[in-house]
Every structure is written in C-alpha cells, then in structure tokens.
Amino acid sequence: MYAQVLIAASFAAAAYQDVRERAVSDLVWIPAVAGVAYVLYSFYTGAVPDLWFYLAKLALIGGVALGFTFFGYVGQADGIAIALVAADPYMLSPLLPLMATAVVALGHIGYELGVGNARGTKTVPMAQFLREQRWIPKAIVSSDKRTEVSADVNVAREEVVAANLPDASVEVKYGVPTVAYLGVGYAAYVVYLLAFSHAAFASLP
C-alpha cells in the first residue's frame, strides 16, 4: 500500500513532465525507488511472502525494458517507467496496469492519427523542432541535402542540436508520451484496487 503510493507519486510527476515537455527528470523517480526499497524490506522481514516471484517478475520485465532502452527503441524514462510497473508488489501488477495503459495509449494515438500528427513522417522547421519536444528526428534537411540521424531515440535529438543548422528543416515522426500513458494506466490500476479489492490493497507493503 505505502509502496504503491510512492510509486504513484513518481508516476504522477513523471506523467506531468512527459505531457508538458516530453522529457522526464531522473529526480521524479526517487519516491518510486523508495517504494521498491520498502517492498524489499517487507520481504526481508517476512511481512510479505513470495520474494522470488517478485524478483523474477522485476528481473524479466526490467530486463526487457533495459534492452529496449539500450537499443534505442524507447527513451530512458520510458524504460524506467516500464520496470517500475513490475516493481509494484501486487501479484498481477504487470498485467493490470499495462492493460489500462494500452487503453489510454490507443485512445490518445487514435486521436493524434485523426488530427494528422501521428501519420508517418513530416518535415518541420528547425526552430519548431527545437521548441517542441514531441518530435523524434529522423533526418536533417538542409539545401536539399538529407542527413539521417541515429535511430536511437536517446541520442537522435542531441545530434540535431549539435549540427547547429538554424536554417535547416528536420524530418520527424511524432513521439508519443509513453511515460504519461503508463502514469495514467498505473493510477487507474490503483483506483481499481481501492474500489474492487480494498483488502488486497491494504495487505500490500
């Protein structure tokens, strides 16, 4: 219960930053890390059973998230958020929050497709790209010359900034606020536990 409150606090702050800036400070995860430490302490004291199941769940999903981040398929904050979903002490924690996240994501992506933001790639002026964090760069277009940037989403934006070509354009695709989806999904999951499984929620560390 206390761990979930701490994890939810981190997700709330991270989701807010992700929606506003498409960038999440590492500091927002401190409450969640404290929550995970509290869960592990609860296992150590014997207050909660099934330590090995918890560690296996955390290792599996955390490992997948780490791999996706390492190969540049998702951002660093996205990988941390995915791992923290698995760090929730409830046995079905990966499944229920991710189901809620999928509903939120599909709804928002459907809207963005409808208004034309999430359809393939588009070219925007450099000034707009630097001002709006929602774009993932694919290439720099300058004087009819197209220069591709890294496919790693964690370094691609830095490459465009480092090129220092204010008169260029940037070929981009829309970057969805994955951390915000996970934050809203996790909040919905906690509300579900409070409403329909309060006893289980109260028994958790």
For 69-89, what is each residue's pLDDT tens digit?
Answer: 998 889 899 999 999 998 888
| Mean pLDDT calculated for residue range 45-72 | 84
Are the C-beta atoms of residues 94 and 86 closer than 8 Å to each other? yes
Residues 72, 154, single domain; the answer is: no
Give the pLDDT score at 197. 79
117-154 pLDDT tens trace = 788 889 999 999 999 888 999 999 998 789 999 999 98
Same domain, 98 and 63: yes
Stretch 32-56: mean pLDDT: 82
Q: State the total domains in the chain.
A: 2
Question: Distance between CA atoms of 142 and 156, rounded to whole angstroms?
Answer: 17
**Is residue 173 scored above 70 in pLDDT?**
yes
Please report which confidence band the pLDDT of residue 162 belongs to, taking 50, 70 and 90 as the band edges: very high
Q: Are residues 142 and 190 in the same domain?
A: no
Q: What are the Cα distances from residue 70, in Å, to 62, 81, 88, 178, 201?
A: 12, 15, 23, 17, 34
Residue 104: CB partners within 8 Å, gap ≥ 6? 181, 184, 185, 188
For residues 135 and 99, state if they share a domain.
no
Beta-strand ranges (E) seen in the chain are 121-125, 135-142, 145-148, 169-174
Residue 24 predicted with pLDDT over 80: yes
**Residue 196 sits in the same domain as residue 95:** yes
pTM reported for the whole predicted model: 0.87
Task: Give the pLDDT of residue 47.
Answer: 58
Domain hosting 135: range is: 120-174
Q: How many angstroms separate the first and last alpha carbons of the chain?
A: 5
Are 126 and 93 found together in one domain?
A: no
Residues 185 and 143 in one domain: no
C-alpha–C-alpha distance, residues 100 and 62, integer Å: 19
Residues 110 and 79 in one domain: yes
Rounded to whole angstroms, the Cα distance separating 101 from 184 reads 7
